[in-house]
Structure 1
Amino acid sequence: MNKPIRRLAIFSLALFGVLMLNVSWIQTFQAESLQEHPYNSRQFIESLTQHRGSILVGSEEVAYSEPVGGDSEQFQRHYENGPMYAPVVGAFRAGAATGIERAENSFLDGSNQLLAVNNFRDILTGEEPKGADVYLTLHSGAQQAAMDGLESLNKNGAAVALDPQSGAVLASYSSPTFDPDSVASVTESEQAAKKWTELEASEQKPLLNRGLNEVYPPGSTFKVVTAAAALENGATPESTMEAPASLDLGAPLTNAWEGPCNNGAPDSLAHSIEISCNTSMANWAIELGGQKMHEQAEAFGFNQGPMEIPLDVTESSAPLETDPNILGRGGIGQANVAATPLQMAMVAAGVANDGDVMKPYLVDSVQNSNLEEVKSAQPEVFSEAVSSGTAEDLTQMMIGVTEGDEASGSAGAIPGIHVAGKTGTAETASGPTHNWFISFAPTEDPQVAVAVVVEHGGKSGGELGAPIARGMMEAVINE
């Protein structure tokens, strides 16, 4: 064999060796990830032959599977009140699942190990294999009220409601939303794929869960955190602070009415919360200092990293500030403070629950095809934000926001029921203000805590956010 042929033979053998190593690597180490990859069409086609479990809100099936019909062995996913529940439920579609459809997929498709005994029993009895049913914590009335309120404004935004005593998520709505049925069709897969592409490209971001995954400057709703820090460090609701018409914090910081609070006299902490005084609350933050403000924010859940409920939740941030100018603005929910609506609902819920913030959760229970519960929620304390005494003081101060002589959030009041609230009007980098309202009720035995944000509403939180929050609270309380 001459030298060139020998070299070619060696090179060919080397290529075959590399090819064999690559195949071995894929089959040994990458098989599972490739099988579960969202763009594995074979995996999706196979999944269509599985009878997925239902997703339920109360006794209502909000997502369920039905046979396509004819000789097909495939199942079609359907969604009841799809747009209302889409921010949480998501969609099961070619390429990927979103929302609860993705987070609880192993239960819904029956592959979770907790279903192994039930699956084996079904094989022995000849029963049709079926995934488990997932029961959500959502309250249909509160979810409907959130949708109705935000859609009536024709504005982007979000609303979240929690059970303060357990952490159960009673509502999580994001506007704009989308119709899961339009992207989940098996028989019209090309149109469904086109619709999904349109949703992904939309500037309005209808696929974004703004309640869990968008952060906003919380504006004056963050003054509850500042007031909590003051009370935890020796202040009382009657403690006063200078409240001029303007503060020089690198640039002028004024009150909404461009005049002083309390007619120019030092303003009490309680009255500052009632009327939402900017200058006094900024002074409180500066006097407390960056470390105490930072610690108090973290006690409510800021800076704690991403969370799963089981949907992914984006971290809210309140950095440790050393510059008094930035710290003062941070004390009124501006500067570098950024929060999800869920985080601000946790602030309200922590005050409502005697100072303890419960970990939010969306799944109440999971039942197998034989209606046996295989998983149930176990409420747990997320953090101890403030003492019970501080929580009571904050509650009374927040009642003043809805019922006081100079109440800034009277539109959130419910006749015959004490409501604790706080308005927020947050300046943005561009465009009109974001408008917030957080609240809980009844204050004697809190059943629901709410946070609402209206993007670029350009008005006040008391005017735009409070009515939506009131409707959500009424839906839960009047059930």
Structure 2
Amino acid sequence: MTKELRRLSIIVLVMFLALFGSTSTIQVLQANALADEQNNRRTLFDSFETQRGAIIAGGREIANSVPSDDLYVWQRQYADSAMWAHTTGFLNPSLGSVTGIEQLMGQELAGTAGSAFFSRIDQIVTGQPPRGSSVLLTLDPEIQKAAYDALGGLTGAVVAIEPDTGRIIAMVSTPGYDANSLAQHDPEGTDAAYRALEEDPAQPLQNRAIAGDVNPPGSTFKLVVAAAAFESGDYDADSELPNPLTYKLPQSQNTVHNASGTTCGPGETTTIATAIRLSCNVPLAELAVEIGADRIRETAEKFGFNQEIAIPLRAATSTYPTSITDDAQTALSGFGQGRVQATPLQIAMVSAGIANGGTVMNPYLVDEVVGADLSPQQSFSPSPFGEAIDQDTADLIRDAMVSSVQDGAATGARIDGVDVAGKTGTAEMGGENPYTLWFTGFAPADDPEIAVAVLVEDGGGQGQSGSGNTIAAPIAKKVMEAVLSR
């Protein structure tokens, strides 16, 4: 071999190695980054050549794919979207946008998850076009509709859970929105629709069931305070507390009063059971100071406060902050005011834990993932979050909640022939702002099938005149009746 030929061979070899190294780097080391690059249109186009799986609730397809006549081959469409949009989310290929279950179960729906491996092999071998897997939700369409209809035109949310499993059977946030307007393959039209939703003062894009502007839980938090007291071993339902007309917050000029404007029943003292039944602020504020913020926080965290919760949608963290250290803030936390904040999901977990004898189950929204041939690929089963309280404590709180519905502050949740356990909440939002209204409870009280939490913002349109009993409790009643009539 001549010197010139040898030199040329070396140059060619170097060029080959450089090309090999470059392509290997691009295809292996940079693959994920390139796939995620928003300007990589080929990856986006390729991903829509696969018919995405459906999102199914109670046997009904609430999201599926239909053929389109554009670059993306398939178009996502959503049924009764205003009722489901906060769960399904939306998928938009022209903008590369994806939210909700569409995002968090995206690999399953696209058929690229590890659980779909054998389905992909079967599709290749048999020559079938690629298809994604379907995601089966825990949500019950009838209960979902009952919750949506009960909320009507109000701004709020409903979460309903099976206490013994943690399965979420209804999760509604209102106002809803039409996910189809955000899934269209027209970038300009989608942009306009999204801007309109963002600028809407009602904030329809917020999922108030698990996030949004997290609210103080008001008197529903009294259940946690009572639980902390009973678990200490120093108190029971008949433990007596001072019963003044008002209570001056420690180291403060501010005073607390009961919503009724009267004492908590007759007499100079009242019991914890009576304070829960009548939803009295003064004795619960005093009780909170007696047992201390640390004990309340410890109990709250056993129910899920200060914890990250994913169902798989990620919930905003409900908080009982460590910054609650002075007695004035501790007193306010005794009736769910001050710095305490909670989502409806969290308050539903509190009721579900009490209903389940003290065991809080992990809430979950997905039952199963199935292939295009309906073969099961992945399933989800109940799992405990933890033991929040013991059975005796749960029984004491349940009895007080039943009394509250029978002849106390939560009579708006009564159901003929059924013992309902319930607790209302009417949270002050500061100044002249409308109250935030709550109800949480479960039914039947002695063998619970459903635990529910209802949130109504903006005072239910009644400013500071509305209450949890008159507005939130009747909503919960309709949801519980829908479950009990199945």
Whether TM-score is above 0.5 comes out as yes
Task: Report the AA paired with residue 160 of structure 2.
Answer: A
Tell me, in whole angstroms, the C-alpha distance in 1 between the residues paired with 2:413 and 2:363: 23
Corresponding position of 2:446: 444
Corresponding position of 2:404: 401
Corresponding position of 2:128: 127
- Counterparts of 1:204-243 in structure 2, within 5 Å, are 204-214=202-212, 215-234=214-233, 235-243=235-243
CA shift for structure 1 position 38: 5.5
SS where residue 237 of structure 2 aligns?
A: coil
- Asked whether the 8 Å contact 1:244–1:264 carries over to 2, the reply is no
Corresponding position of 2:177: 178
Corresponding position of 1:103: 104
Pair 340,73 (structure 1): closer, same or farther in 2 beyond 3 Å? closer
Tell me, in whole angstroms, the C-alpha distance in 2 between the residues paired with 1:227 and 1:73: 56
- Asked whether the 8 Å contact 2:162–2:168 carries over to 1, the reply is yes
Tell me, in whole angstroms, the C-alpha distance in 1 between the residues paired with 2:205 and 2:129: 34
1:363 and 2:397 are equivalent in the alignment: no
Corresponding position of 1:113: 114
CA shift for structure 1 position 97: 1.0
Q: How many residues align?
A: 452
**Once the two structures are superposed, what CA deviation does each residue of 1:36-82 show, in whole Å capped at 9, x if it has no partner?**
2566544333332210000000110011111125x977111111111
Pair 34,157 (structure 1): closer, same or farther in 2 beyond 3 Å? farther
Task: Report the AA paired with residue 455 of structure 1.
Answer: E
Pair 296,268 (structure 1): closer, same or farther in 2 beyond 3 Å? same
Corresponding position of 1:422: 423
Corresponding position of 1:192: 190
Corresponding position of 1:351: 354
SS where residue 307 of structure 1 aligns?
A: coil
Pair 33,149 (structure 1): closer, same or farther in 2 beyond 3 Å? farther
Tell me, in whole angstroms, the C-alpha distance in 2 between the residues paired with 1:294 and 1:348: 17
Corresponding position of 2:155: 156
Tell me, in whole angstroms, the C-alpha distance in 1 between the residues paired with 2:440 and 2:220: 7
CA shift for structure 1 position 198: 2.2
Corresponding position of 2:337: 334
Tell me, in whole angstroms, the C-alpha distance in 2 between the residues paired with 1:166 and 1:37: 40
CA shift for structure 1 position 453: 0.7
Corresponding position of 1:90: 89
- Counterparts of 1:202-351 in structure 2, within 5 Å, are 202-214=200-212, 215-234=214-233, 235-249=235-249, 250=252, 251-304=254-307, 306-320=308-322, 321-351=324-354
Tell me, in whole angstroms, the C-alpha distance in 2 between the residues paired with 1:49 and 1:179: 24
SS where residue 173 of structure 1 aligns?
A: strand
Corresponding position of 2:485: 478
SS where residue 480 of structure 2 aligns?
A: helix
Task: Report the AA paired with residue 470 of structure 1.
Answer: K
Corresponding position of 1:454: 456
Tell me, in whole angstroms, the C-alpha distance in 1 between the residues paired with 2:284 and 2:36: 51
CA shift for structure 1 position 388: 0.7
SS where residue 65 of structure 1 aligns?
A: strand
Pair 462,39 (structure 1): closer, same or farther in 2 beyond 3 Å? farther
Tell me, in whole angstroms, the C-alpha distance in 2 between the residues paired with 1:85 and 1:445: 29
Pair 442,93 (structure 1): closer, same or farther in 2 beyond 3 Å? same
Pair 132,212 (structure 1): closer, same or farther in 2 beyond 3 Å? same
- Structure 1: runs of 5 or more not aligned: 1-20
Tell me, in whole angstroms, the C-alpha distance in 1 between the residues paired with 2:103 and 2:143: 24
Pair 210,41 (structure 1): closer, same or farther in 2 beyond 3 Å? farther
Task: Report the AA paired with residue 244 of structure 1.
Answer: P
Tell me, in whole angstroms, the C-alpha distance in 1 between the residues paired with 2:475 and 2:42: 45
Larger deviation: 433-442 or 88-97?
88-97
- Asked whether the 8 Å contact 1:39–1:96 carries over to 2, the reply is no
CA shift for structure 1 position 117: 1.1
Task: Report the AA paired with residue 182 of structure 2.
Answer: V
CA shift for structure 1 position 204: 2.3
SS where residue 266 of structure 2 aligns?
A: helix
1:76 and 2:75 are equivalent in the alignment: yes
Corresponding position of 2:56: 56
Tell me, in whole angstroms, the C-alpha distance in 2 between the residues paired with 1:284 and 1:40: 60
1:67 and 2:89 are equivalent in the alignment: no
Tell me, in whole angstroms, the C-alpha distance in 2 between the residues paired with 1:34 and 1:362: 32
Equivalent pairs: percent with the same residue? 40
Larger deviation: 389-398 or 253-262?
253-262
Tell me, in whole angstroms, the C-alpha distance in 2 between the residues paired with 1:435 and 1:22: 61
- Asked whether the 8 Å contact 2:227–2:389 carries over to 1, the reply is yes
- Asked whether the 8 Å contact 2:410–2:469 carries over to 1, the reply is yes
- Asked whether the 8 Å contact 1:183–1:195 carries over to 2, the reply is yes
Pair 26,287 (structure 1): closer, same or farther in 2 beyond 3 Å? farther
SS where residue 313 of structure 1 aligns?
A: coil
Pair 326,73 (structure 1): closer, same or farther in 2 beyond 3 Å? closer
1:382 and 2:385 are equivalent in the alignment: yes
Pair 141,37 (structure 1): closer, same or farther in 2 beyond 3 Å? farther
Question: Which TM-score applies when normalising by structure 2?
Answer: 0.89
Tell me, in whole angstroms, the C-alpha distance in 1 between the residues paired with 2:44 and 2:191: 13
SS where residue 312 of structure 1 aligns?
A: coil
Corresponding position of 2:3: none
Pair 259,353 (structure 1): closer, same or farther in 2 beyond 3 Å? same
Task: Report the AA paired with residue 275 of structure 2.
Answer: S
Pair 39,279 (structure 1): closer, same or farther in 2 beyond 3 Å? farther
Task: Report the AA paired with residue 179 of structure 1.
Answer: D
Corresponding position of 1:7: none
Tell me, in whole angstroms, the C-alpha distance in 1 between the residues paired with 2:174 and 2:127: 45
**Once the two structures are superposed, what CA deviation does each residue of 1:221-277 show, in whole Å capped at 9, x if it has no partner?**
000001111111221111111121111112111111222112242111111101101
